[in-house]
Amino acid sequence: MRLAPEHIGELWWSDLALHTGRYAVFALLTWAVLWVGLKRPLRGRKIREDNPPAAQMALEFLISMRSVVIFATAAMGMALLSEAGAYPLSRLARHWGPVWFWTSLVLMIIGHDAYYYWSHRAMHHPRLFQKFHRRHHRSHNPSPFSAYSFDLREAALMSSFVILWPLAVPTPWQVVTLFILHQIARNTLAHAGYELMPARANGRPMFDWLTTTTHHDLHHASGGSNFGLYFTWWDRWMGTENPDYYAAFARAVRRPLGRRPVLPATPAPAAPLRG
């Protein structure tokens, strides 16, 4: 049974409300908890001494709402494709039990990390940077509201993964929902401005295979390194991890809680990857 045109509109508004709610909850909650509620006790974990201007954060929120429109439209498109029978693997996978359920979630996260690394690195090519990725790097000093502050082309590129993955890999729809929640949570924390990862005695990250807020903050600072989203694997395999990463992380976690950071002010705007 095909959806009537008026029901398609209702579906789109429903998807828009859902994606807006997810972004608003994660971005606003992260900002309220870290930047307001725990500002004083966590001041020693703040990566940059200066805060981004309020006008920048407001604009990031508005630009993120534009990205949310793209994501909602993609979600509606997936629903229509599913109704047309384009996702038989997802219908099949829902009967494969809990082991495959959680395995498919892990595979989707790993797959997205690879997709993100290579698409992100490609967007830093001088021919693509201005058209795809310039908007995001206008957040020289990122905040939780930077998570979805994308150019329209980048927003479309980011949503493409969720559309394409279930076409190739049997993935229950509930797994896709969990993946999206994981993605926005990690994306928001990457731009949180505070380093929350526990450290080893030597000052290195406790879970060194995971990216940290410092890891992504260095990307906003230099633009030519640290392209990974969830894991540090690809940056290390491809030699694109910032050589100052461990030192920067140690500076962020070895200051006593409550002490101001002593890092430089906001660095110069990021440049596209060259070469």
Average pLDDT over all residues of the chain: 88
- Tell me which residue of 153, 117, 147, 115 sits closest to 134, measured CA to CA: 153
**Model confidence band, residue 101 (pLDDT cutoffs 50, 70, 90):** very high
Sign of the C-alpha dihedral, residues 53, 38, 185, 206? Answer: positive
Under DSSP, the state recorded for 127 is: H
pLDDT in tens, 39-57: 888 888 999 888 889 999 9
Residue 157, number of CB atoms within 10 A of its CB: 21
Cα–Cα distances in angstroms (integers) from residue 252 to residues 30, 180, 188, 221, 258, in the given order: 18, 29, 18, 15, 12
**Model confidence band, residue 255 (pLDDT cutoffs 50, 70, 90):** low
Under DSSP, the state recorded for 256 is: P
Q: What is the pTM of this model?
A: 0.87
47, two tokens: 């990566």
- Tell me which residue of 157, 151, 164 sits closest to 119, measured CA to CA: 157
- Contact 193/144 with Cβ under 8 angstroms? yes
Query: Which residues, other chains included, contact 127 with Cβ-Cβ below 8 Å and sequence gap of 6+?
Result: none
Measured at the CA of 45, the angle between CA 43 and CA 51, to 5 degrees, comes to: 60
**Model confidence band, residue 32 (pLDDT cutoffs 50, 70, 90):** very high
Say what the pLDDT of residue 81 is: 87
Under DSSP, the state recorded for 231 is: B
**Model confidence band, residue 6 (pLDDT cutoffs 50, 70, 90):** low
- Enumerate the β-bridge partners of residue 210: 231
Residue type, 225: S
Say what the pLDDT of residue 259 is: 52
